[in-house]
Amino acid sequence: MSRVPLRPLARILDARAKGGDPDAIERENKQQRNEAMRDRARVQAEGRLLVLAVLFFVAFGTVGVRMGMLAGAEVAEPRGQTAGAEIAATRADITDRNGRLLATNLTTHALYAQPPLMVDPERAAAELVEIFPDLDADRLVRDFTGSRKFLWIKKKISPEQLQDVHDIGDPGLLFAPRDMRLYPNGAVASHVLGGARFGQEGVHAAELVGVAGIERAFDDRLRDPGQAGEPLMLTLDLTVQSAVEHVLAGGMQLMNAKGAAAILMEVHTGEVVALASLPDFDPNERPNPPTSGAPSDSPLFNRAVQGLYELGSTFKVFTSAQALDLGLVDPATMVDTTGPIKWGKHKINDFHDYGRELSVTDVIVKSSNIGTARLAQMIGTERQRAFLEQLGLTKPTGIELVEAKGSTPLLPSNWSELSTMTISYGHGLSASPLHLAAAYATITNGGTKVTPTVVRKGPVAPGPRVLSPQSSAITRDMLRQVVSRGTASFGEVEGYAVGGKTGTADKPKPRGGYYEDKVLATFASIFPAHDPKYVLVVTLDEPVETTGSEPRRTAGWTAVPVAAEIIRRVAPLLGLRPEIEPAGPMGVTLTSN
């Protein structure tokens, strides 16, 4: 910066020429310079004060606004913070085919503690034990007075318990919001629904994760926030499911059975209307998986889907249907039933002596092992195996339950001629009751393949043809005769023309061989037999009917009466009206080859 000289030469010379004082000029210039510097300093100071004033105004304004927001906010407990992404806690509802709730969410709370905030840990521990008797007071005191900064106390508490904890008044006891999975019908359809548990957990939310059944099979779909408002609709009918379970439980108790299973399925679509397995459980309080013993001893075991059993004489219908379809026999063809049939050291016998021969129809009606084995010999091993594969009896059913994926039928390692004969009457091949229900639906609906499903998907297209309509109609007539004059006479339900086949199989021992006094009794039925709408399979594990002088274990005495009572209860619920049974073999004219 350039400055004006305090003693400018021109003015000095001029002053001297006129007799003036040159020093006055210097004093005047110095005064002007000082005034200019003072003005600049004053302007700078005023600017600084203005900036400080603005800053103080903004700061105090921010504090005032925040205080106003806090004063107007709802009072809430302080929350602990957790790192990580936000937890998605939404989960879609599950309903039956009529839109009735099977599974939904319920808002509740979890209880946790922050020991550094606690005022009186010993008193808080003592009062918590009074509210939750399963807690350990000494352990709580150790946790509250130790080095821990955070601990969960209860993952789910009721509103009443929340209020009781709140009344303790300790600031270190805090609540975390939760959406828990609620099954409003308790144990009804428990093996289909499976259950859910808490997965990733935070203070502000916890995700719900499916652990079994439909909840696990459709876990991604149920957890998708984009579909949270769209319920997953199942094929089950809640009313029918409840009735089936109720009757099955009573039949299981009456027949002194260890366990039981039932499947009610639409014969044309494969839609499962009811699926029950007993013993069952409440998915609201799902028990832990067993750590010892047989899996089937646990109530978590789904006998209808996971249980692989030799299903006995219920398989005989598959043999006769195939023989009919191949043109090897007709219903009146006589079959040699003299026995026993010997194959190496093995013998095939009948439960009763049926004489030298029976018609194909009577082989099924009277349930002749020897007659069925003769038919299997006509069919041959390769054709038998191919037919059973078409029926879906050699692979998992494909139903949308995670438990079904591991339920592959147990086949003989060497499918010999002996295997062909024993499999023809239900021994040597183990399948689930669900496999059996799907196969019966296939051979009685006109002969088109059925794949079981528990998820409502709209119209179901017919599957590939497995059996001709004529052979299917003859098979339905045979099944009807089994009930009207054969081994399933207790299966009659007036007005509903039940058809079906009994099966009583000795239970295998874990280390080989068979028990002499333990059986698996099964009744596979259709109704109405002349125009089937539904197939019902009932299986009882180790039943014993004791009303007579001697214990009776066969399916005709155990599984059949239970199935008949189920049909009697559910047929009206399904909209089926009792009707007079049509005369004759359901419109099928039988001719000899």
Strand intervals (E) in 330-423: 334-336, 341-343, 346-348, 357-359
Q: Are 237 and 96 in contact (CB under 8 A)?
A: yes
Percentage of the chain exceeding pLDDT 70: 92
Q: Which of 313, 367, 407, 472 is catalytic?
A: 313
**Calpha distance 402→214 (Å, rounded):** 7
Is 407 tagged catalytic? Answer: no
Q: What tens digit of pLDDT does each residue of 522-563 get?
A: 999 999 999 999 999 999 999 999 888 889 999 999 999 999
Averaged pLDDT for residues 110-114: 91
> Residue 180 pLDDT > 90, yes or no?
no
Q: Which residues pair with 180 in a beta bridge?
A: 106
Greater model confidence, 130 or 587: 130
Q: Which residues contact 372 (CB under 8 A, 6 or more apart)?
A: 313, 316, 319, 320, 363, 424, 425
Count how many Cα atoms sit within 13 Å of the Cα of residue 253 in the half-sphere of its side chain. 5
The tokens of 135 are what?
Answer: 């807690």
Instruction: Specify the DSSP class assigned to residue 74.
Output: P
| Mean pLDDT over the full length of the chain | 89
pLDDT tens-digit map of 459-491: 888 899 999 999 999 999 999 999 999 999 999
pLDDT at residue 71, rounded to an integer:
76
Alpha carbons 204 and 32: distance in angstroms, whole number: 72
pLDDT at 81: 46
Residue 443 pLDDT > 50, yes or no? Answer: yes
Tell me what the mean pLDDT of segment 415-434 comes to: 94
Chain segment 26-41, per-residue pLDDT in tens: 677 777 777 878 888 8
Question: Among candidates 140, 129, 134, which has minimal Cα distance to 165?
Answer: 129
Average pLDDT over residues 78-93: 59
- The pLDDT assigned to 80 comes to 45
| Residue of 163, 189, 185 whose CA lies nearest to 280 | 189
Q: What is the pLDDT of residues 266-284, one digit of tens each?
A: 999 999 999 999 999 999 9
**What's the confidence (pLDDT) of residue 272?**
97
- Coil, strand, or helix at residue 485? helix
Torsion of Cα atoms, 384 then 387 then 393 then 396, to 10°: 130
Mean pLDDT of 162-186: 90
pLDDT at res. 592: 41
